[in-house]
């Protein structure tokens, strides 16, 4: 929804731009191009058809522009037109659309042509005229944001002939002129080139004057590059998601109902990082074959694009299956045509015929209806469930604006929020929302967020944090889980020392980390990586910029300020890290006891459970392990479990017993890790795998092996138990069938 | 069709959850409801006006029915079953009184097998709970006492065969008999052994005791030997939540209500979103916390495909295979490359690079600083919060440190700004960490737990500018009238209570499905508790609204009579940015420079006023930049630099 844009970049490619200066390791042109590439690729990344770009070379060897018959315009070449000159014909419309967007092949071509030339001849002012011509031809009188960006080192001859005319044209056509120079002096930014060539100084002054006259901007390129880290601010015009009545009461029934025409726009809206699509290597090509077979067929011969050319899109193919009643555990495929739309009610399938399609939808009327008011002090801020929207009165309706203003002020003065029912369109599910007044000096609106419904709240209970209630019901206020006065004091001092909102001299609070200066690290990091990769395919990934990561740590100043308070806090808090898993926890281990503390294991050992029965395997296996004190006992239990598991697989109708087997394996694995006997488990699992793969357990049980792999009950490797002689690599290999 | 599937894939990519847990994260609840003479004794309500009676058994069945319905909506893949014990009749899978070889579990009646409920199960349970004839058939107490060991082992078998590999398995015991075996030592120890088996199997026993008419339920007599302190599901669970469950009272209504409420609070097992996450209070100083989702939008389950080619409709499960566009050959997972569309082509990264791009370090909640809660704008919200509570598992002493922080923030009404990575490779967010006080209801039952709430904040990328519009400020007299309306229509206690507002479309959806599934008549009119109480509104504020309306007409006439004809059609002059509330309503500020850039106009007058009052820093960066641009001044640097530059401009101007 942003405005259409036409931007022409004028790039000075003079011979002198190929030189390096002031100890830089790259040439002036390469340096300047950092800026240009970033800007162009940011535009390409938007994928917008209406963001058009043209590129003009200044001081090129050849001349190629529309005014080339005039000597004043020599050594200026249009590298990339913003569009065909003249009105596009209907038939050419598609081609014209493609022309105005910069695409990857264009970028590659530009990369080829933008190189230092063998000449220093060419007039910067003339190149601006060429750019103006391009914009006029392309944009006509249509609404565009017009922009010319000139990047030059300011050397060479610049003629000021006809400058007034040019300024007039730039201003009348509302073109924004930005002039960026290599090593231009900029007192604001704090740069001054020593021993500057007087001719260059003169040119700088001329260009600076030009930019000023045109209401444009003039800066040194270093400053522009330093700003690249900041994401491009883009203004998105929101689309209203609701236009209708704010109501109090029912106007159909009561004459006393209040109705105000309102509109709803997003205030926050989550921007997603670009998503990658899936591709596969084109059929019949493997990585090694491709080089020889593809080269002739590839449209773009660059080597790095070949990899992409070998990729092909992926489609999803879906098949539908139902369980086969006649043979449990198997499925039959059914045709899409025999399927109706439906829902699950528990495990019952409820199908809904096409004519009843909307039968489960609640009938609702589009409106924003007030349910009642609550006091803002009694609202818990963490009940916000959604993004925020603004509600304003109908834009062209002054009476509605006046009416809503009284509502906003009424809420504000009573320190209240409104709870309302919002139906954005007829028959859409109603939302329960909270409306808060927002009054700024120049803007009034309601802010709206969604609240939880009864079903959305999970009532998990937790013990209080300011007291401890013992099992016997006594309340205790001194306890190892409760802070003492020292800790409370140290915490208080620390929290105060890490304050990030400070009041300035006039008592106005100033947030040092304001919301509108925190940028999404994921979005901008991926965006930057894509743009870099597009231009420099062989470079490694850029690391996230410091600007993006500034909110990942407290600022240096805050850390310094808080250091002594933190040290004090750490000391009185006396927090101890729990050492990594205490080894062999199960040996000589005290069994868990019921609330009464009764020694159930005593009772059990009385019975001496060493024989594991097939209908109570897991408890009896665990208890047998607790009851044994030698390796033979453990080994015997494992053997018994193994036999039971094999039996269960053998007797499983289809996959009926598979879950049970996986659970038993999981318990065995955990227990044998704890008993420090990983070998016993690994031996058994290897045996089991062999039996499964050789179909020794009554048929094809491969699906079970797949389940075992997926359920993470494979071999115990070294990372899980130090006593294991299986590496992670081996464990993976044994896992694969 | 293809569209929606593609979207699904993308979502998958975003939240790749580590699926290494070998147990599926589903829950199975088996109700064990005692049927005995006292459990069938009606409890009348204490109030004389209402004669409704309720027997404890039936109340328990109603709760089970309620929970079953609720879980079909909220947890459609969880299992639920109902086992009656102490009944004259016995039933267990394929055996009953008539089977040969005797009964394995006498006086145990498996009424609803443990499974994802089918419509038929819902119907039968409802009949048993509400239909007297049906109840009299089955709810007959046995003459012989039932062996608790047998009941527990019966439950063991049901869980083992029906809910293998479930992360959470819970046995809800509803009884009024606190001492089923008296002094019979062998019966008692058999029961404790079977209870230990259940514990070792990973089944948690939840007791819902009902007091008898003559005495309170005493857990220590028997059940403290049966129930274990820590559940395997949730080692953090505090002991008192188990022992302090109030036993359901004596009279009928409160019996049902308190049973419903205590069962509701256990309806979903507490599942952590993340466990033992480091909370970094300051550089190098960490404690551990566990996170939970407390608020989650409940949506109707997505529609599915039902096969209607046979006798019984069946749900068809779809499986997707990925095939190549060119040859339609199935693609293996390892062949898949991810690439971004850019300038009409693909820009690709290796899987390792893909991963690296999303990696911003280990999961952590790191405090960046503190600020007053009042500095958190109302609109700074994007999704529901995460609740965190301390855990002693990685750092001993976490609870007391957390408690100290909690207390300090509550007292000073402060919040912490945190850097939050919820799991490995999750996108980092900046969140506001707000302290939440414990909230209790009238019966001192916890409504909201004490702890901290992490509210993800919008990034600059997520903040949208306000839509442009006119500003017309209402006059005092109009506002006065509105104030009375606001005053008169406060919700009870001037608070929002979520439990009073069930989601009407969600309830209706499942109400219709239930009717269709059970082949019943469709309900006529939905119950919609969100519909405002129109009658009450008219009664309470009708007069005020009319007075307000008259005042509005009056003011409207005064303000806009001159141009009211054109105002609705013609495009209005751009809004006036006025900073002083007292200036004339509706008349745009006269002197301003119009700049069409970024949609912000530059209001020199307003900025001049700010300069005079020293409040330039209150202005937003775009406004400052636009102003500077309009004065041909550089717009670079931080906000402070911009402010300084504007100040300099005015200083020079004098």
**Tens of pLDDT along A183-239?**
988 887 878 888 888 888 889 999 998 999 888 888 898 888 877 766 665 666 778
Number of domains in chain A: 3
With 0-12 CB in 10 A as exposed, 13-18 as middle and 19+ as buried, what is B557?
Answer: exposed
| CA dihedral angle for residue B511, residue B512, residue B515, residue B516, rounded to 10 degrees | -150
pLDDT band at A346 (very low <50, low <70, confident <90, very high): confident
Both tokens of residue B403? 């408690």
For residues B292-322, one letter each, b for 16 or more C-beta atoms within 10 angstroms of the residue's C-beta and e for the rest, the string is bebbebbebeebbbbbbeeeebbbbeeeeeb
**Residue B256 CA, distance from chain mean position:** 25
Residues A608, A674, single domain; the answer is yes
Return the top range by mean pLDDT from A383-397, B23-37, B56-70, B507-521.
Answer: A383-397
Do the domain assignments include residue A16?
A: yes
If you ran DSSP here, which 8-state letter would residue B415 be given?
E
Whether residue B372 lies within 8 A of chain A, CB to CB, comes out as: yes
Do the domain assignments include residue A722?
A: yes
Is pLDDT of A434 > 70?
yes
pLDDT recorded at residue A93: 41
Q: How far apart (Å, rounded) are the C-alpha atoms in residues A489 and B404?
A: 9
Check if CATH label 2.40.290.10 holds for domain B273-298+358-462: yes
Is pLDDT of B442 > 60?
yes
Both tokens of residue A163? 């400058």
If you ran DSSP here, which 8-state letter would residue B192 be given?
H
CATH number for the region B476-567 comes to: 1.10.1600.10
SS3 A510: strand
Continuous segment of H or E residues that includes residue A198: helix A198-213
CB A585 within 8 A of CB B451: no
Alpha helices of A460-500 — where are they, by DSSP H?
A: 485-497
Q: How far apart (Å, rounded) are the C-alpha atoms in residues A669 and A724?
A: 12
Q: Which of B123, B120, B121, B184 lies closest to B149, judged by CA?
A: B184
Do the domain assignments include residue A421?
A: no
- Compute the average pLDDT of residues A461-468: 88
Alpha-carbon distance values, A730 to A648, A719, A725, B19, B387 (Å): 27, 12, 10, 21, 40
Do the domain assignments include residue A647?
A: yes
Q: Which residues contact A630 (CB under 8 A, 6 or more apart)?
A: none
Model confidence pLDDT, tens digit, residues A505-551: 777 777 888 888 888 899 888 888 888 888 888 888 888 877 788 88
pLDDT recorded at residue B377: 94
Do the domain assignments include residue A481?
A: no
Residues A287, A211, single domain; the answer is no
CB contact under 8 A, A711 and B22: yes
Say which residue the tokens 């096969």 belong to.
B307
Tell me the shortest Cα–Cα distance from B39 to chain A, in angstroms: 26
Alpha-carbon distance values, A630 to A523, A635, A668, A724 (Å): 58, 9, 17, 19
Do the domain assignments include residue A393?
A: no
Q: How far apart (Å, rounded) are the C-alpha atoms in residues A235 and A76?
A: 34
Is pLDDT of B506 > 70?
yes
Tell me the shortest Cα–Cα distance from B382 to chain A, in angstroms: 4
Residues A30, A104, single domain; the answer is yes
Residue of B155, B165, B224 to mutate, interface with A, max A Cβ within 10 Å: B165
Model confidence pLDDT, tens digit, residues B273-325: 888 899 999 999 999 999 999 998 988 888 888 888 777 788 888 887 888 77
CA torsion sign, B31 to B32 to B35 to B39?
negative
Model confidence pLDDT, tens digit, residues A638-692: 999 999 999 999 988 888 889 899 999 999 998 888 888 889 999 999 999 999 9
pLDDT recorded at residue A91: 37
Is pLDDT of B400 > 90?
yes
Compute φ and ψ for B275, nearest 5 degrees.
-120, 145
Query: Last residue of some domain: A182, A211, A226?
Result: A226
If you ran DSSP here, which 8-state letter would residue A280 be given?
E
Please name every residue paired with B166 in a beta bridge, in sequence order, or none if there are none.
B24
Q: How far apart (Å, rounded) are the C-alpha atoms in residues A152 and A183?
A: 10
Is pLDDT of A610 > 60?
yes
Continuous segment of H or E residues that includes residue A2: none
Per the annotation, the verdict on B23 as an active-site residue is yes
Residue B444: how many CB atoms within 10 A of its CB?
7
pLDDT band at A629 (very low <50, low <70, confident <90, very high): confident
For residues A13-26, one letter each, b for 16 or more C-beta atoms within 10 angstroms of the residue's C-beta and e for the rest, the string is bbbbbeeeeeeeee
With both helix axes pointing from N to C terminus, report the angle between A617-627 and B185-201 in degrees, rounded to the nearest 10. Answer: 100
Q: Which residues contact A336 (CB under 8 A, 6 or more apart)?
A: A320, B305
CB contact under 8 A, B74 and A455: yes
Domain borders along chain B are: 24-270, 273-298+358-462, 476-567, 577-654
Tell me the shortest Cα–Cα distance from A276 to chain B, in angstroms: 5
Q: What is the ipTM of this complex?
A: 0.80
pLDDT recorded at residue B133: 86
pLDDT recorded at residue B98: 64
Q: How far apart (Å, rounded) are the C-alpha atoms in residues A246 and A434?
A: 13
Say which residue the tokens 């016995």 belong to.
B90
Residue A611: how many CB atoms within 10 A of its CB?
10
Query: Last residue of some domain: A226, A245, A267?
Result: A226
Q: Which of B49, B467, B59 lies closest to A393, judged by CA?
A: B467
For residues A139-169, one letter each, b for 16 or more C-beta atoms within 10 angstroms of the residue's C-beta and e for the rest, the string is beeeebbbbbbbbbbbbbebeeeebeebbeb
CB B206 within 8 A of CB B170: yes
The partner residue sitting opposite A510, judged by closest CB among B408, B569, B617, is: B617
Q: Which of B479, B376, B449, B462 lies closest to B418, judged by CA?
A: B376
Residues A56, A198, single domain; the answer is yes
Alpha-carbon distance values, A331 to A320, A326, B312, B375 (Å): 10, 10, 16, 59
DSSP conformation letters of A559-597? HHHHHHHHHHHHHHH--EEPPS--TTTTTTPPPP-BTT-
A34-38, A499-503, B35-39, range with the lowest pLDDT: A499-503
pLDDT recorded at residue B550: 92
Both tokens of residue A241? 């998601």
Compute φ and ψ for A31, nearest 5 degrees.
-65, -50
Residues A186, A304, single domain; the answer is no
Q: How far apart (Å, rounded) are the C-alpha atoms in residues B365 and B279?
A: 5
pLDDT band at A98 (very low <50, low <70, confident <90, very high): very low
Is pLDDT of A476 > 90?
no
Whether residue B169 lies within 8 A of chain A, CB to CB, comes out as: no
CB B296 within 8 A of CB B384: yes
Q: How far apart (Å, rounded) are the C-alpha atoms in residues B263 and A183?
A: 75
Model confidence pLDDT, tens digit, residues B350-398: 888 888 888 899 999 999 999 999 999 999 999 999 999 999 888 999 9
CB A585 within 8 A of CB A620: no
Q: What topology is assigned to B24-270 in CATH?
A: Rossmann fold (3.40.50)
Q: Rounded mean pLDDT of chain B?
A: 80
Q: How far apart (Å, rounded) are the C-alpha atoms in residues B73 and B116?
A: 12
Q: How far apart (Å, rounded) are the C-alpha atoms in residues B113 and B481?
A: 62
Model confidence pLDDT, tens digit, residues A241-270: 999 999 999 999 898 899 999 999 999 999
Residues A633, A708, single domain; the answer is yes
Residues A25, A170, single domain; the answer is yes
Is pLDDT of A145 > 80?
yes
pLDDT recorded at residue B218: 87
Higher-scoring residue by pLDDT: B407, B640: B407
Phi-psi region of A540 (alpha: psi -120 to 50; beta: other; left: phi over 0): beta
Is pLDDT of B567 > 70?
no
**pLDDT over 70 for what percent of chain A?**
88
Q: How far apart (Å, rounded) are the C-alpha atoms in residues A230 and A524?
A: 9
Number of residues in chain B: 654
Q: How far apart (Å, rounded) are the C-alpha atoms in residues B548 and A260?
A: 12
pLDDT recorded at residue B244: 41
Q: Which residues contact B222 (CB under 8 A, 6 or more apart)?
A: B148, B178, B179, B180, B181, B188, B191
CB contact under 8 A, A238 and B470: no
Residues A168, A29, single domain; the answer is yes
**pLDDT over 90 for what percent of chain A?**
32
What count of Cα atoms within 13 Å lies in the side-chain half-sphere of residue A570?
15
Q: What is the pTM of this model?
A: 0.78
B 374-413: CB under 8 A from A:
375-385, 387, 389-390, 392-409, 412
pLDDT recorded at residue B27: 87
Query: Last residue of some domain: A313, A333, A367?
Result: A313
Whether residue B654 lies within 8 A of chain A, CB to CB, comes out as: no
The partner residue sitting opposite B372, judged by closest CB among A501, A520, A594, is: A501
Q: How far apart (Å, rounded) are the C-alpha atoms in residues A677 and A720?
A: 12
Do the domain assignments include residue A539?
A: no
Number of CB pairs, chain A paired with chain B, less than 8 A apart: 848
Say which residue the tokens 């203003």 belong to.
A405
Residue B643: how many CB atoms within 10 A of its CB?
21
Range of the domain at A68: 5-226
Compute φ and ψ for B255, nearest 5 degrees.
-60, -50
- Compute the average pLDDT of residues B22-34: 79
Strand bridging mode A443-450 / A389-393: antiparallel
Please give the angle made by the CA atoms of B554, B555 and B557, to the nearest 5 degrees.
Answer: 65
Helix, strand, coil shares of chain B, percent, nearest 5, are 35, 25, 40
Residues A110, A188, single domain; the answer is yes
The partner residue sitting opposite A462, judged by closest CB among B451, B468, B506, is: B451
| Sequence-ordered strand ranges (E) for A153-205 | 175-181
Rg (alpha carbons) of chain B, rounded to whole number: 33
Do the domain assignments include residue A216?
A: yes
The partner residue sitting opposite A102, judged by closest CB among B156, B343, B542, is: B343
B 228-267: CB under 8 A from A:
228-230, 238-244, 264-265
Closest residue in chain B to residue A248, using alpha carbons only: B537
SS3 track for B268-333: CCCCEEEEEEEEEEECCEEEEEEEECCECCCCCCCCEEEECCCCCCEEEEEEEEEEECCCCCECCH
Residues A199, A295, single domain; the answer is no
């Amino acid at each position: 929804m942003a405005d259409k844009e036409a931007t022409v970049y004028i790039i000075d490619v003079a011979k002198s731009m190929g030189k390096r200066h002031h100890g830089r390791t790259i040439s002036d042109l390469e340096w300047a191009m950092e800026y240009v590439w970033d800007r162009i690729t940011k535009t390409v990344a938007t994928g917008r058809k209406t963001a058009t770009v043209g590129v003009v070379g200044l001081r090129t060897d050849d001349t190629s522009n529309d005014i080339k018959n005039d000597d004043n315009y020599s050594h200026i070449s249009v590298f990339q037109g913003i569009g065909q000159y003249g009105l596009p014909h209907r038939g050419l419309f598609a081609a014209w659309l493609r022309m105005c967007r910069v695409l990857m092949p264009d970028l590659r071509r530009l990369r080829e042509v933008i190189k230092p030339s063998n000449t220093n001849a060419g007039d910067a002012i003339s190149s601006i005229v060429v750019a103006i011509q391009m914009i006029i031809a392309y944009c006509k009188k249509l609404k565009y944001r017009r922009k010319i960006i000139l990047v030059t080192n300011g050397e060479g001859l610049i003629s000021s002939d006809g400058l007034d005319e040019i300024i007039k044209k730039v201003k009348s056509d509302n073109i924004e002129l930005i002039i960026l120079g290599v090593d231009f002096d900029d007192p604001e930014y704090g740069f001054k080139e020593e021993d500057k060539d007087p001719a260059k100084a003169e040119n700088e002054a001329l260009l600076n004057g030009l930019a000023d006259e045109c209401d444009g901007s003039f800066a040194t390129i270093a400053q522009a590059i330093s700003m690249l880290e900041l994401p491009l601010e883009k203004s998105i015009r929101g689309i209203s998601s609701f236009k209708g009545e704010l109501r109090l009461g029912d106007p159909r029934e009561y004459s006393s109902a209040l109705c105000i025409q309102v509109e709803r726009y997003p205030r926050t809206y989550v921007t997603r990082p670009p998503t990658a699509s899936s591709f596969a290597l084109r059929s019949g090509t493997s990585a090694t074959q491709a080089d020889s077979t593809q080269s002739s067929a590839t449209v773009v011969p660059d080597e790095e694009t070949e990899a992409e050319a070998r990729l092909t899109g992926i489609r999803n193919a879906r098949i539908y299956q139902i369980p086969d009643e006649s043979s449990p555990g198997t499925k039959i495929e059914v045709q899409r045509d025999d399927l109706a739309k439906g829902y699950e009610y528990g495990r019952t399938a409820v199908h809904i015929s096409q004519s009843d399609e909307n039968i489960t939808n609640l009938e609702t009327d589009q409106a924003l209806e007030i349910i009642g008011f609550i006091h803002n002090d009694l609202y818990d801020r963490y009940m916000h469930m959604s993004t925020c929207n603004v509600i304003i009165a109908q834009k062209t309706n002054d009476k509605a604006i006046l009416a809503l203003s009284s509502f906003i002020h009424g809420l504000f003065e009573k320190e209240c929020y409104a709870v309302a029912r919002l139906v954005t369109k007829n028959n859409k599910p109603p939302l329960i929302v909270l409306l808060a007044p927002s009054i700024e000096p120049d803007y009034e609106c309601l802010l709206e967020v969604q609240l939880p419904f009864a079903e959305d709240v999970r009532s998990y209970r937790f013990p209080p944090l300011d007291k401890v209630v013992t099992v016997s019901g006594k309340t205790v206020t001194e306890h190892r889980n409760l802070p003492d006065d020292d800790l409370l004091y140290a915490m208080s001092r620390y929290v105060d020392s890490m304050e990030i909102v400070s009041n300035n001299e006039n008592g106005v609070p100033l947030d040092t980390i304001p919301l509108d200066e925190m940028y999404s690290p994921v979005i901008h990091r991926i965006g930057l990586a894509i743009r870099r990769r597009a231009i420099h395919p062989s470079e490694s990934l850029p690391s996230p910029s410091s600007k993006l990561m500034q909110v990942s740590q407290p600022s240096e100043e805050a850390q310094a300020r808080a250091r002594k308070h933190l040290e004090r806090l750490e000391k009185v808090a006396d927090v101890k890290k729990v050492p990594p898993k205490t080894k062999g926890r199960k040996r000589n281990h005290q069994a868990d006891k019921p609330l009464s503390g009764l020694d159930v294991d005593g009772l059990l050992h009385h019975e001496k459970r060493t024989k594991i029965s097939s209908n109570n395997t897991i408890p009896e296996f665990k208890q047998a392990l607790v009851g044994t004190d030698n390796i033979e006992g453990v080994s015997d239990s494992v053997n018994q479990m193994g036999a039971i598991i094999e039996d269960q697989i053998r007797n499983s109708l289809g996959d009926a017993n598979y879950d049970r087997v996986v659970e038993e394996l999981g318990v065995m694995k955990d227990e044998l890790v704890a008993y420090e006997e990983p070998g016993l488990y690994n031996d058994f699992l290897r045996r089991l795998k062999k039996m499964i793969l050789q179909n020794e357990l009554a048929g094809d049980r491969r699906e079970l092996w797949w389940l075992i792999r997926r359920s993470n009950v494979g071999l115990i490797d070294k990372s899980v138990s130090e006593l294991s002689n299986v590496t992670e690599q081996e464990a993976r290999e044994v896992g694969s069938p | 069709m293809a569209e929606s599937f593609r979207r699904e894939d993308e979502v998958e990519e975003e939240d790749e959850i580590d699926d290494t847990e070998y147990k599926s994260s589903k829950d199975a609840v088996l109700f064990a409801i005692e049927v005995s003479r006292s459990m069938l004794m009606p409890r009348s309500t204490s109030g004389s006006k209402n004669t409704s009676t309720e027997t404890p058994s039936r109340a328990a069945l109603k709760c089970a029915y309620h929970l079953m319905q609720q879980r079909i909506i909220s947890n459609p893949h969880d299992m639920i079953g109902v086992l009656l014990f102490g009944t004259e009749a016995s039933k267990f899978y394929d055996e009953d009184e008539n089977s040969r070889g005797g009964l394995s579990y006498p006086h145990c009646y498996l009424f609803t097998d443990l499974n994802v409920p089918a419509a038929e199960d819902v119907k039968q349970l409802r009949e048993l709970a509400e239909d007297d004839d049906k109840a009299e058939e089955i709810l007959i107490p046995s003459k012989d006492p039932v062996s608790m060991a047998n009941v527990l082992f019966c439950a063991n078998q049901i869980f083992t065969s029906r809910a293998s590999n479930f992360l959470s398995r819970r046995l809800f015991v509803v009884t009024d008999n606190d001492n089923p075996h008296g002094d019979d030592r062998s019966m008692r120890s058999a029961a404790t052994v079977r209870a230990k088996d259940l514990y070792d199997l990973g089944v948690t026993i939840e007791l819902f005791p009902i007091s008898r008419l003559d005495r309170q339920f005493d857990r220590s007599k028997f059940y403290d030997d049966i129930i274990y302190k820590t559940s395997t599901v949730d080692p953090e669970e505090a002991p008192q939540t188990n022992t302090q469950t109030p036993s359901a009272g004596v009279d009928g209504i409160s019996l049902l209500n308190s049973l419903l409420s205590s069962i509701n609070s256990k309806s979903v097992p507490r599942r952590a979103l993340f466990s033992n996450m480091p909370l970094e209070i300051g550089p190098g100083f960490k404690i551990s916390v566990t996170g939970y989702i407390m608020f989650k939008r409940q949506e109707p389950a997505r529609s599915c495909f039902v096969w209607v080619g046979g006798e019984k409709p069946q749900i068809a499960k779809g499986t997707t295979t990925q095939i190549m566009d060119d040859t339609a050959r199935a693609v293996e997972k390892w062949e898949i490359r991810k690439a971004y569309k850019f300038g009409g082509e693909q820009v690709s990264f290796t899987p390792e690079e893909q991963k690296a791009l999303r990696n911003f370090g280990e999961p952590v909640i790191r405090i960046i600083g503190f600020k007053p809660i009042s500095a958190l704008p109302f609109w700074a919200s994007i999704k529901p919060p995460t609740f965190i509570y301390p855990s002693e598992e990685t750092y001993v002493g976490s609870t007391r440190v957390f408690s100290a922080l909690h207390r300090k923030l509550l007292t000073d009404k402060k919040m912490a700004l945190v850097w939050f990575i919820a799991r490995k490779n999750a996108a980092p967010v900046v969140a506001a960490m707000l302290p939440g006080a414990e909230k209790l209801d009238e019966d001192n039952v916890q409504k909201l737990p004490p702890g901290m709430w992490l509210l993800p904040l919008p990034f600059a990328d997520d903040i949208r500018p306000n839509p442009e519009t006119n500003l017309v400020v209402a006059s005092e007299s109009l506002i006065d009238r509105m104030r009375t309306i606001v005053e008169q229509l406060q919700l009870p206690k001037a608070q929002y209570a979520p439990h009073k507002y069930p989601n009407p479309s969600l309830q209706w959806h499942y109400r219709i499905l239930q009717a269709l599934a059970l082949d019943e008549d469709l309900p006529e009119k939905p119950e919609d508790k969100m519909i405002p109480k129109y009658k009450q509104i008219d009664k309470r504020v009708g007069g005020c609204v009319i007075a307000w309306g008259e005042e509005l007409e009056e003011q409207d006439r005064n303000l806009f009579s001159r141009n009211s004809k054109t105002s609705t059609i013609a495009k209005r002059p751009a809004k006036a940015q006025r900073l002083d509330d007292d200036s004339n309503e509706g008349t745009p500020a006269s002197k301003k420079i119009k700049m069409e850039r970024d949609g912000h106009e530059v209001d020199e007058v307003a900025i001049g006023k700010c300069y005079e009052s020293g409040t330039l820093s209150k202005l937003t960066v775009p406004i400052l930049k636009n102003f500077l641009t309009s004065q041909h001044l550089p717009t670079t640097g931080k906000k402070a630099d911009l402010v300084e530059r504007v100040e300099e401009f005015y200083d020079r101007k004098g």
